[in-house]
A and B are shown apart, each in its own frame.
Chain A
Amino acid sequence: MGIENRVALITGSASGIGKKTAFRMAQNGAKVVINDIVADNVEQTVDEFKKEGLAVIGKVADITKKVEVDRMMNETVETLGSLDILVNNAGMERAGALRNLTEADWDITINVNLKGAFLCSQAAHNHMVSQNYGRIINIASRAWLGGAGQAPYSSAKAGVVGLTRVLALELGRKGVTANCVAPGLIHTPLWDDLPEKNKAFLLSKQPTGKLGDVDDIANAVMFLADDQSGYITAQVLYVCGGRSLYSG
């Protein structure tokens, strides 16, 4: 029941939302794979988790590179025996007005958020289909609905929603579900660095008047990753304090 003894790989999990999600999944009995592009952070995260007595291994890989992704998935299955849960969490944003955005801004944002989710899902689904079981959870964003200054990011996250629906339709018959969690404003270190003026502006558009925390996202991911969530697929679960309804 739950996620106990399941092998869960969370991309970009040496920081922020991914790290907390990985931690909570490990606490709940999953065997967790920490992935990130920043090797030092992977090592440090694995050490931290091990000190807490949690089952964890680390895999450094750039999810925008097919060879690195394929190697990571194969090594995971070799070491831990299977791959049951994939959380496509690694992401980043280059924001700016249309006229200021560069081709490089577009490419990197699309590559990390969208191509990375595609490559990881493609590599993971082979293992999931062969065992007739899998849970894919893609971290999209409330911002997929569109936001001024967010052309590459909104486009990438909208792509993630479309990808999720395709995965659900293609893999449903093989016991694999695919869903999105769409976070709104979440309290991560990035937030603390914002000027007070920006914080006040963002909060004024928030129906709850509050930020969410990383645990709110971890909870949603664990709900969807559960053994017993097999009848839930192709969905977008917004964890955004009502921001998807209203932008003031």
Chain B
Amino acid sequence: MEVVRDKIALLVGACDEVGQAIGVRLAQKGATVIVCDTDYARLSILAEQIRESGGNAEANPVDSTSSVDVKRLVGDVIKQYGKIDILINNADARFGKPVGDASDEEWETGIRTNLNPVFFFCREVIPKMQAQKYGRVINISSLDYIGWPGRSSYSAVKSALFGLTRSLSLETARDGVTVNCVARGDVATSEMSPELAAKIGESLPVKRIGRPYDVARAVGFFASDWSKYVTGQMFFVCGGKSAHFSMSI
């Protein structure tokens, strides 16, 4: 199957359950995964888990809302490993309010936490990928980009990822670099009650809710050599929910 052997992967937003599943999957398939997030304690546990299951991982905390800290982190990784082959932007803070109730600060927080980090990491990492003529960038978006009542700022930020992905893919197309978006649909996490998970599952064409692993597998494809001719795409892992919408093809 698809492999990422000897690749160096930078996973940003590693601590949520989808991030963890991506880290485990990439490590299983042979990559060294640098897991980044704000919480060093949780990162260390994740890195330890990955190592225990036979993979290579290192925890490196970062404040991804700070371009200075992002630059520092990317510099650290390059110094230690000499390259970055795979960049996964998974930072995802969900928020939302009816538009009349949203403050300036909430709008700006949405952009600062969900969009700025993707830009900062792409700006630091992509030129290095272009220089080495190899790279895989995967931005994790959400099916909510399609528009959801009470979620206007979240949708706006997640839509922005699509434009960013497409532009960057065209910019790097001749350099052996691919840039794609994986948009997650409904995914059950351990915090979700089984009743709610079952109810959501019943509403989907496949009659079950997604698991973090479903997203991680798709990311594995886009991170590997198997997808070398795939770039600029938005790919949905959503149990068929996107078939209800017009913007999803």
Residues of A within 8 A of B (CB): 2, 28, 161, 165, 168-169, 172-173, 177, 184, 207-210, 212-213, 216, 219-220, 222-223, 226, 228-242, 244-246
Contacts and interface: CB of A to CB of B under 8 A. Distances in A.
B205 interface: yes
A228 B185 CA distance: 16
Contacts, number: 112
A239 B239 contact: no
Contact of A161 (B2, B169, B217, B249): B249
A241 B173 contact: yes
B206 A231 contact: yes
Nearest to A171: B205
Nearest to A184: B229
B230 interface: yes
20 contacts: A168-B240, A172-B204, A172-B206, A177-B206, A208-B174, A212-B229, A216-B226, A219-B226, A220-B227, A230-B206, A231-B238, A233-B239, A234-B240, A234-B243, A236-B249, A239-B227, A240-B229, A241-B173, A242-B169, A245-B232
B134 interface: no
A179 to B, nearest CB: 10
Contacts of A241: 173, 229-231
Given A168-B205, A239-B229, A232 B173 contact: no
B210 interface: yes
A184 B231 CA distance: 11
Contact of B240 (A216, A223, A233): A233
Q: Is the interface of A mostly helix, strand, loop or mixed?
A: mixed
A231 B201 CA distance: 11
Contacts of A28: 1
B226 A223 contact: yes
A26 to B, nearest CB: 15
A242 B170 contact: yes
B227 A219 contact: yes
Contacts of B208: 231
A222 B233 CA distance: 18
Interface residues of B, number: 37
Q: Which 8 A-B pairs have the closest CB atoms?
A: A172-B205, A207-B173, A234-B243, A212-B229, A231-B214, A219-B226, A216-B229, A233-B240
B100 to A, nearest CB: 35
A237 B233 contact: yes
A173 B207 contact: yes
A235 B240 CA distance: 7
Contacts of B119: none
Contact of A234 (B205, B213, B218, B226): B205
B236 interface: yes
B159 interface: no
A171 to B, nearest CB: 8
Contact of B229 (A208, A223, A236, A245): A208
Residue of A172, A210, A212, A223 with highest tally of chain B CB at under 10 A: A223
Given A168-B243, A208-B173, A233 B232 contact: no
Contacts of B161: none
A158 B218 CA distance: 24
A113 to B, nearest CB: 18
B109 interface: no
A42 to B, nearest CB: 28
Contact of A220 (B210, B230, B231): B230
